Chain A
Amino acid sequence: QQQVKQSPQSLIVQKGGISIINCAYENTAFDYFPWYQQFPGKGPALLIAIRPDVSEKKEGRFTISFNKSAKQFSLHIMDSQPGDSATNFCAARDDKIIFGKGTRLHILP
């Protein structure tokens, strides 16, 4: 059973565009929702995170939107840059972190 569903699997965006990645979850016990970014040959690294008592969190070009009633959350990357090309994972945590399957993001120069 996939507890955190992520889409799309891959995404191609023009430089300067907006990248949007969506995730959905079922377990209402989740109370922390981090996003991790992974470059080839490296481990995942925390990008940004949100708690469910907040509907939006913004850090620089990265924004998480959170809809608690729909049990959905999304990552928006504004002004996408080639350096953002990576695999991004949404995740949800109760006692442990459950990761989505990842979105391979490619920003065209």
Chain B
Amino acid sequence: DAGVIQSPRHEVTEMGQEVTLRCKPISGHNSLFWYRQTMMRGLELLIYFNNNVPIDDSGMPEDRFSAKMPNASFSTLKIQPSEPRDSAVYFCASSWGTGRHQPQHFGDGTRLSIL
């Protein structure tokens, strides 16, 4: 079975540029989560979707960040304009349902560097 697929794996861009991260969840999963991982703050939930609808975006740090899920098999996280402090590893995860005991399956992340 294919796991959660994220692209690109690495992204290096200059401050001010638009960055788009992509995620394909596991087929059949109906919940999708975006996380950011840094040394200082650890693993933080940014936003999650259930059945393609955003449920909680309280973790999105600023209006520069936006996320969409146009269909059950694709989601994007966009940063515009990007800043050096956005440099981090961004993970997408999916699960079947939002039940508290449903395990989340993570992709291998996108390592983002903003120069």
Contact = CB atoms under 8 A, between A and B. Distances in A.
Contacts of B77: none
Contacts of A45: 105-106
User: Interface of chain B, helix or strand or loop or mixed?
Assistant: strand
Interface residues of B, number: 18
B56 A46 contact: no
B101 A43 contact: no
B42 A43 contact: no
User: Interface of chain A, helix or strand or loop or mixed?
Assistant: loop
A100 B107 contact: no
A67 to B, nearest CB: 20
B49 interface: no
A96 B100 CA distance: 8
Measured as residues with beta carbon below 8 angstroms from the partner, the interface class of chain A is 20 to 34
Nearest to A102: B42
Most B CB contacts (10 A, CB to CB) among A41, A43, A93, A101 go to A43
A54 interface: no
B109 interface: yes
A61 interface: no
Contacts of A89: 42-43
B42 A97 contact: no
A101 B109 CA distance: 18
B56 to A, nearest CB: 6
Interface in B74-115: 91, 93, 100-101, 103-109
9 contacts: A42-B108, A43-B93, A43-B109, A44-B91, A46-B103, A46-B105, A89-B43, A94-B100, A97-B104
Interface of A: 31-32, 34, 41-46, 49, 51, 89, 93-102
**Ranked 3 nearest A-B pairs via Cβ:** A43-B106, A99-B43, A46-B103
